[in-house]
Structure 1
Amino acid sequence: MRVRLAEPRDVDRLLELMRGLARFEEYIDDFAVTRESVLEHGFGDDRLFTAFVAEQDDDLVGMAVVYTIPWTYTLRPKVVLKELFVEEAARNTGAGKALMAAVMSHGRSIDAAELIWTVMDGNRAAEGFYRSLGASPDGKWNNWSLSLDAKARPVR
């Protein structure tokens, strides 16, 4: 198992992994990410996210996508793990742990104070995996969302 930064040559396989996560988390009907958007936003000096890939036998079997909140109350960045996904056939091979190790190393390299992420409600396997790494749920905060689409109800 080898984990490395994703490169532009990985874009098609990376997109497949992103779609795999979208199917697993049941938002595939709303999935709008394209090859072009991954290339535009994931690579180069102005990238909006960083992707790590797990490679096994010359195939990409997993990915971790992160972005950085550059400034927080600690005066240090915070790394947000947006997506972690390992194909079912490659689970329990160490791919997830290797991806998380790369993400943590990345966070330390930019002097981030914290790595944060969300877990889909009911995903006990993911919760167990993250606990095995020493992580714990944040009992202080819960996630909320507000649609900003034109169809959303206006605030009055």
Structure 2
Amino acid sequence: MRVRLAEKRDVDRLLELMRGLARFEEYIDDFAVTRESVLEHGFGDDRLFTALVAEEDGDLVGMAVVYTIPWTYTLRPKVVLKELFVEEAARNSGAGKALMAAVRSHAESIGATELIWTVMDGNRAAEGFYRSLGASPDLKWHNWSLNLDAKAPRAR
């Protein structure tokens, strides 16, 4: 198992892995990511995210997509793990652990104080996996969202 930064040549396979996660988390009908958007936002000087890929026998079997919050109250960055996905056939192969180790190394290399992510409600396998790495849920904070496409009352 080898983990490395995704390269432009990986875009099509990376997009397949992103779609795999969208199917697993049941938002495939809303999935709007395209090859062009991955190229635009994931590569180059002004990229919005960094993608790491797990490669086994020449095939990409997993991915981690992260972005950085440049600074917070500590005046140091935080790294947000936006997506972690390993194809079903490659689960329990060490790909997830290798990806998380690479994400952690990336976060440490930029002086981040914290690595944060969310877990889909009811995904006990993911919770167990993250606990095995020494992570724990943040009981102080709850995720909230505001759908800006929906008709909702505005604050006055």
The CA deviation string for residues 112-140 of structure 1, in whole angstroms up to 9 with x for no partner, is 00000000000000000000000000000
Please give the alpha-carbon distance, in whole angstroms, between the structure 1 residues aligned to 2:48 and 2:72. Answer: 18
Please give the alpha-carbon distance, in whole angstroms, between the structure 2 residues aligned to 1:148 and 1:123. Answer: 26
Structure 1 position 153, deviation (Å)? 1.5
Q: Give the AA of the match of 1:137.
A: P
Tell me the TM-score normalized by structure 1: 0.98
What SS is found at the alignment partner of 2:39? helix
The reply to whether residue 9 of structure 1 matches residue 9 of structure 2 is: yes
Residue equivalent to 1:140: 140
Structure 1 position 90, deviation (Å)? 0.1
What SS is found at the alignment partner of 1:67? strand
Q: Give the AA of the match of 1:116.
A: I
Residue equivalent to 1:153: 152
- Structure 2: 5+ residue runs without aligned partners? none
Residue equivalent to 1:73: 73
Structure 1 position 107, deviation (Å)? 0.2
Residue equivalent to 2:47: 47
Residue equivalent to 2:19: 19
Please give the alpha-carbon distance, in whole angstroms, between the structure 2 residues aligned to 1:100 and 1:88. Answer: 17
What SS is found at the alignment partner of 1:45? coil
Please give the alpha-carbon distance, in whole angstroms, between the structure 1 residues aligned to 2:137 and 2:72. Answer: 20
Tell me the TM-score normalized by structure 2: 0.98
Structure 1 position 148, deviation (Å)? 1.0
Structure 1 position 3, deviation (Å)? 0.2
Please give the alpha-carbon distance, in whole angstroms, between the structure 2 residues aligned to 1:152 and 1:141. Answer: 26
Flag as ranges the 4+ runs of structure 1 deviating above 3 A: none
Please give the alpha-carbon distance, in whole angstroms, between the structure 1 residues aligned to 2:54 and 2:38. Answer: 17
Structure 1 position 89, deviation (Å)? 0.2
Please give the alpha-carbon distance, in whole angstroms, between the structure 2 residues aligned to 1:94 and 1:147. Answer: 36
What SS is found at the alignment partner of 1:66? strand
